[in-house]
A = this chain, B = another copy of it.
Amino acid sequence: MHETFYIAIVDDHTMFRKGITALINLFPGYRVLFDAANGKDFIHQLKPPHLPDIVLLDISMPEMDGYATADWIRVNHPGICILALSTMESETAIIKMIKHGARGYILKDADPSELQLAFRESLSKGFYYNDAITGLVLQAVGDLFNNNTRELAPGKLTDRELSFVRHACSEKSYLQIARDLQVSERTVDGYRESVFKKLKVSTRVGMVLFAIRTGMVKL
């Protein structure tokens, strides 16, 4: 008697989602439990205790992207194996996804047999990485040993930081923001640094996107 493993698929393109679903249902020993258009949809459709063994997670999605969804899964259902599925071959995307807890990274133009292999490997060994990206994985692992700030604290912002963020959601330069807030350029630089750390972003655009997604600023 063979055990059946359950898969969930999260991707914003319906056609791709349904296609992959049909494909996976042809794999012996695997069934698609459900599919979702984004992270929010996924969370909404999750009905414990019927959890998927593996989540196939696209990175770029509206509403709630792959990184945010991976965070949520890691916190709320650490037993679920996260496999990232993306067209992007960019190092940063891969490393970022690994840092967010993905156990594997599969390119959308890989062969379906690789997908099946990824299922097997990640369930038995706990991870699956393509030869092409193993190097990147090792580098990311190194980073985790060095400066791992793995607390995913919400990171509440202070009043000053909040008003800084609101000013930053504009075309103003940091120098202009400093003048508006009646503080020095260095002080604003300090706001930036602490906000980046708290929101876990690395660029001003990332901060703006975060602020809008979470409703910190209204448009």
Contact = CB atoms under 8 A, between A and B. Distances in A.
Given A14-B108, A15-B111, 16 more contacts: A13-B108, A13-B109, A15-B85, A15-B115, A18-B23, A18-B111, A19-B21, A19-B22, A88-B180, A90-B180, A171-B202, A171-B205, A173-B203, A205-B205, A208-B208, A213-B219
30 contacts: A12-B109, A13-B109, A14-B109, A15-B20, A15-B106, A15-B111, A15-B112, A16-B19, A16-B108, A18-B19, A18-B111, A19-B19, A19-B22, A19-B112, A22-B23, A23-B23, A62-B219, A63-B219, A88-B180, A90-B176, A90-B179, A92-B171, A92-B172, A92-B176, A168-B205, A169-B209, A171-B202, A171-B203, A204-B205, A213-B219
A28 to B, nearest CB: 14
A178 B212 CA distance: 25
Which of A15, A22, A108, A109 is most buried by chain B, counting CB atoms within 10 A of its CB? A15
